[in-house]
Chain A
Amino acid sequence: MKKTIIILSAVLLTGVILHAQGDTQKLQQDVAKLDNATSVNDYQQLAAGFARIAESEKTQWLPYYYAAFCNAKTGWLNEDDPDNIEGYANKAEEQIKKALSLLDTATQKKELSEVYCVVSMVNRARVFMNPATYGRQYGPPASMYIQLAKKANANNPRALYLDGWEKFSTPKMWGGDKNKAKELLLAAQQTLAGNISAGIEPHWGKKEVDDLLKQLK
């Protein structure tokens, strides 16, 4: 009987491990795919995948974080199609709020910083719907969350990137500064280069930073 129980436990345990590994593997795979995503289609496919993982891993912040990031990024990619942003922004907001609720904001500062970056991106996506009107409402929170992200982790290259993007894209009279943008983006580039471990931890940004730096030349 003892043996039976051992066998039984072993079988069950394997099942649990396999189960968990399945999700982790899937997450790993999708995060790897994210490194090469470029189009709305890529990001939407991944957003659906991450949402699916989140559905079964309801206590993990990362799947929600990635799902939200992909939807926010879709909003950014649709900057020239402003009628087609709000749905993605709404979805991203819902998901990033879930991610935030799963964090211990007192101790998980690094994670918090990543989440704030996406919150900022969601707000920025809403500005794209019509900068003249939505800018007044969503522009200030978009900047505020970048600052919060930097406060939580001063070295977060994604916060540096978003800050640089903002300095790059804002007209001078409203606080834009191309030199400052370059400075921030170079700092982001450096941090990203020194941190190549491509696990499931957030590590996106290289492509975005490089693209923007090219435009600054």
Chain B
Amino acid sequence: MKLLKLPDILFILLLLLGVSSIKAQTLIRGKVTNTKKEPLSDASIILKNTPTGINTDSAGGFSLPISVKGKQVLRISSVGYITKEIDINPQDSVLYVDIVLKEEGKMLGEVVVSAGSFEATDKAKGASLTPMDAVTVAGNGGDIANALRSLPGAQQIGEQEGLFVRGGTSAETKQFIDGALLPNPNYASVPGVPQPARVNPFLFKGILFSTGGYSAIYGDALSSALILESVDLPDKSSASLHIFPQDVGAGLQELDSKKKSSYGVDVHYGNLQFYNSLVPQKPRFFHGPEYLESDANFRIKTSKTGMLKFYTNYGYNNTGMRNPDIDSTNLLSSFQTKDQNIYANLSYRDYLSAHWKIDAVVAYNYDKNTITNKLENQQFQQVFIPAYPYNEKNSIINTESNFAQVRAVITRTFAHNQAIRFGAENFYTNTNYTYNDTTTTLTGNTTAAFAEGDVYLTKNIAAKIGVRAEHSSLLDKTVLAPRISVAYRFADGGQINAAYGVFYQQPDITYLVQNGTPGFAQATHYIINYQKKANNRLLRIEAYYKQYNSLVTTNPAVNDNGKGYARGVELFFRDKRTFKDLDYWITYTYLDTKRMYLDYPSEIHPDFSTPHTVWVVAKKFFPNINLSANMSYSLATGRPYYDMQTGINGKTFISDHGTTNMYNDMNLSFAYLFTMFKKWKEKDFSGIGFGMNNVFGTKQVFGYNYSYNGLNKVPVVPPATRSYYIGLFMTFGIDRRDDFINNNL
């Protein structure tokens, strides 16, 4: 064996050195924590592009021996955190590194400011509300606003449609579709008989019910905003029909083969004559109630992010009824309303570039309403008595109104969901109000400009800061409304929200046509809330204080010197976990409110408010028998009622008052689901729906009406103690049975 030559020896030495340098280990030690300095266990530490790596222990610590010298990259990752790479240059035998990982956006998401609002979206996870959850509350009769009465903040007002929120009237809650005002969400009012909604509640993929402190991009609502976002393209073409004794209808949705556009039409007709012959009603209906509704829509995907949507509906209702006249036992009071309403909404949204977005909408509404009041004898012949109060009991009131709105909102988005939003809108109203033969015409424009910023100070602190300026040509006044809300999220996912805002609303048209010049009514909201969501449960507690100023008063002449306050605490708890297949929520609303407005002689508890309201809503599906069951139960303390009389000085005073008995209402609804034509290419998804409202038949009194002299006092009660429905619904192409389960009269 030949001796190794020197170069060989050197070479081998070098090689050995190299090998030994591989063997020479550096120990990398350290700790991985999150931004709150909590240790992260099971985080993975890898020397990049090598198999060398280790997981952290339960204290977040690790020690990783590595056998490579020189510059290296250490990669640290953990589910829910942003993966971090750090450069290391190990020279010593031990290298200490402390690593802080930031929470990943996708896991918890940016904190969303949510003071004052309930949001139901089709993206809701766990115990958050989806639009379906919100609108399938038993007994809501297919009216979103009714369904939302089961959420905290709303009062149980059984004699009238609409949302009475936190001491506000239903006129102080406005509904918006894709940014545009929906001026007449329900059919024309009938005294004592709540009217159904015009718009199908299943049209929406997002429902935001704000009970206060809402965004500066909406206005002209003193108490509450119901912000609705309509669906985009349907998943599939479908057809549907439903047959109930109260209502029949059919519809179709057609999606083009490229899934770029769709159109749809729906028609339904309801006449309660037949139903009322089976279930006697207290008012004697001589016409209807009769409803005809048709709607049409088209939706076009104009680009990858662009969407153009058109929705229109036409509604007609005609209801005539007779009640005993309150001032005379042998006379009848006849009331008839005929109403036609057309609504159209064209909206467009798209990204103009990566960071600029536009949301634009134009909307138009036409409404023609005729109310005929008659005083009649027992033979239904009209009688005229020229003395008070009978001389005011024969009247014809015509209201013809046009409404148009144009609106554009531009959004500039920044990193971390931050954004600046600004825009402007104009509302045009033209109303011809004819009382008997006297016509008053009012034409006005309200112009508003607004700006709002979504600011994320850290991942867990967010704020929404906005301001809105409004000018009304009718009032000839300009107002400025600041709004701010903030949110802070705790490490456990719990969240505190707070909001402050000033809100203005123009007085109702009926007060503007009278003499006197009221200004904007004003409300200031202060809200604080805590909510926590985990493990399929959601808890929310909210407290608020509201101050009202410049409310309309009519005592004795129209003015705006009304004022008041509202304060309360509300609780919402939803649990989808404890009982298998049972989803329930419990709501408690405490409200203390007083206001002086209209003919109130001083600040009193308004007759549409009560201190305590409790709701229990439960839904269960029985898969073995294909039956879904929904239950809602509400309990509320009595409402105050007053008899206002006018004194000799022309001012009103309270001559009698009291509180109604407790209100309680149990509603049940069921749907049995099946398929009739299994062999069909587009098989049907069918169901039989049936339900009953006020199951226990409790006597519900909403208030009292008084005769002019205060001697006759008549309770305001529902037209019938209980109400029922049963019917069949079918859909083809797509399973939309859920839509029908509660969407009926």
Give A residues with C-beta under 8 Å from B: 1, 4, 7-8, 11, 15, 19, 22-23, 26, 41, 44-45, 47-49, 51-53, 55-57, 71, 74, 80-83, 85-88, 90-91, 129-130, 132-134, 136, 171-173, 176
Contacts and interface: CB of A to CB of B under 8 A. Distances in A.
Nearest to B577: A80
Interface in B637-677: 673-675
B592 interface: no
Nearest 7 pairs between A and B by C-beta? A171-B623, A82-B126, A48-B44, A87-B107, A52-B53, A56-B51, A129-B125
Contacts of A82: 125-127, 536
Given A82-B536, A87-B80, A87-B104, A176 B51 contact: no
B355 interface: no
A55 B79 contact: no
B51 A173 contact: no
B133 A71 contact: no
B12 A7 contact: yes
Which interface residue of A1, A51, A53, A82 has the most chain B CB atoms within 10 A? A82
B534 interface: yes
B232 interface: no
Contacts of A74: 79
Contact of B55 (A49, A91, A132, A133): A49
B51 A49 contact: no
A133 to B, nearest CB: 5
Interface string B76-88: 0111100000000
A192 B53 CA distance: 33
A57 B46 CA distance: 13
Interface in B72-111: 75, 77-80, 104, 106-107
Nearest to A89: B106
B79 A91 contact: yes
B624 interface: yes
B79 A132 contact: no
A88 B132 CA distance: 26
A132 B130 contact: yes
A173 B53 CA distance: 50
Given A48-B55, A80-B536, A83-B125, A172 B624 contact: yes
A172 B51 contact: no
A171 B626 contact: yes
Nearest to B45: A52
A11 B44 contact: no
Nearest to B11: A4
Contacts of A132: 130, 132-133
Given A44-B79, A87-B79, 13 more contacts: A7-B15, A41-B42, A48-B79, A49-B55, A51-B44, A52-B44, A52-B46, A55-B75, A80-B535, A82-B127, A83-B493, A133-B124, A172-B623
Contacts, number: 108
A19 to B, nearest CB: 7
Given A4-B11, A53-B51, A173 B673 contact: yes
B42 A11 contact: no
Nearest to B44: A48
Nearest to A174: B735
B15 A48 contact: no
A86 B126 contact: no
A45 B42 contact: yes
A71 B77 CA distance: 14
27 contacts: A7-B12, A7-B15, A11-B15, A19-B51, A41-B42, A48-B42, A48-B55, A52-B46, A52-B51, A53-B51, A56-B51, A82-B125, A82-B536, A83-B535, A85-B125, A87-B107, A129-B125, A130-B126, A133-B130, A134-B125, A136-B235, A171-B623, A172-B626, A173-B623, A173-B626, A173-B674, A173-B675
Contacts of B48: 55
B673 to A, nearest CB: 5
B123 interface: yes
Contacts of B53: 52, 55
A87 B106 contact: yes
Interface string B675-709: 10000000000000000000000000000000000
A129 B126 contact: yes
Nearest to B56: A48
B49 interface: yes
Contacts of B55: 45, 48-49
Contacts of A22: 51
B374 interface: no
A23 B51 contact: yes
Contacts of A52: 44, 46, 51, 53
Contacts of A57: 51
B23 to A, nearest CB: 11
A190 B93 CA distance: 54
B711 interface: no
A15 B19 CA distance: 10
Contacts of A91: 79
Nearest to B48: A55
B290 interface: no
B508 interface: no
A82 B130 CA distance: 14
Interface in B594-653: 621, 623-624, 626
A86 B493 contact: no
Contacts of A47: 79
B8 A71 contact: no
B622 to A, nearest CB: 9
Contacts of B122: 133
B79 A71 contact: yes
A40 B344 CA distance: 52
B43 interface: yes
B533 interface: yes
B133 A4 contact: no
B124 A86 contact: no
Nearest to B83: A51
A55 to B, nearest CB: 5
A25 B284 CA distance: 86
B50 interface: yes
A216 to B, nearest CB: 14
A12 to B, nearest CB: 9
Interface string B516-537: 0000000000000000011110
Contacts of A134: 125
B125 A86 contact: yes
Contacts of B80: 87
A21 B128 CA distance: 49
Which interface residue of B79, B493, B626 has the most chain A CB atoms within 10 A? B79
A130 B128 CA distance: 9
A199 B42 CA distance: 25
Nearest to B535: A81
Nearest to B47: A56
A71 B80 CA distance: 12
